[in-house]
């Protein structure tokens, strides 16, 4: 997806529906503008984030990859992520910023690779059979990235004291 095109479309739509444009309108116009602006914000946030974008594209096809009824993650994938979490905890305990940085870089690379796979699948150049599983794995990796970022920030702030 072209991020610049998404940003331009978002700004254009917000310019058309923003509540400030309807400040002198009646209550119904103000309410509609507020609702429309909120929907544009929701859509932009969903499309900007690779995980929510993939979930939405599957939802359009009637597939809920993120729900409790979604596909079970493979054991080897889960074991790999558990190893990464243990390594991250060890790095934090040892105050080893380099090890944590390397781990975060590795997880981000895996997430980018998975996003590329999903792009091919959503563009019709791949099988949709594995798509829900890949989306679920990407969700897992995104959560791990957030957790590693938080660990990294904690180590950074400790170093500043």
Same domain, 76 and 136: yes
CA–CA dist 85, 28 (Å, integer): 51
User: Which of 9, 32, 48 finishes a domain?
Assistant: 48
Q: Is residue 9 classed as helix, strand or coil in its secondary structure? A: helix
CA–CA dist 66, 131 (Å, integer): 12
Same domain, 102 and 129: yes
Domain count of the chain? Answer: 2
CA–CA dist 151, 145 (Å, integer): 10
pTM of the predicted protein model: 0.75
Q: Looking at residue 139, which CATH number applies to its domain?
A: 1.20.1280.20
Q: What pLDDT score does 31 carry?
A: 93
Q: What pLDDT score does 161 carry?
A: 38
Residue 93: CB atoms within 10 Å: 8
Q: What pLDDT score does 144 carry?
A: 96
Q: What pLDDT score does 69 carry?
A: 65
- Give the domain range for residue 82: 55-161
DSSP state of 22: G
Q: Looking at residue 24, which CATH number applies to its domain?
A: 1.10.287.110
Same domain, 41 and 76: no
Mean pLDDT for back-to-back runs of 10 residues, the chain (161 residues): 88 93 91 93 90 85 73 91 96 94 96 90 69 90 95 82 38
């Amino acid at each position: 997806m072209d991020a610049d095109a998404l940003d331009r479309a978002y700004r254009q739509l917000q310019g058309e529906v923003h509540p400030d444009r309807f400040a002198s309108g009646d209550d119904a116009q103000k309410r509609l503008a507020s609702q429309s602006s909120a929907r544009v914000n929701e859509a932009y946030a969903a499309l900007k984030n690779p995980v929510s974008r993939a979930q939405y594209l599957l939802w359009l096809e009637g597939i809920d990859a993120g729900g409790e009824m979604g596909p079970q993650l493979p054991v080897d994938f889960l074991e790999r992520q558990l190893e990464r979490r243990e390594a991250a905890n060890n790095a934090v305990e040892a105050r080893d910023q380099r090890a944590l940085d390397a781990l975060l870089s590795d997880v981000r690379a895996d997430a980018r690779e998975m996003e590329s796979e999903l792009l091919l699948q959503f563009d019709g150049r791949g099988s949709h059979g594995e798509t829900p599983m890949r989306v679920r794995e990407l969700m897992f990796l995104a959560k791990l990235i957030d957790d590693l970022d938080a660990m990294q920030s904690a180590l950074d702030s400790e170093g500043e004291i």
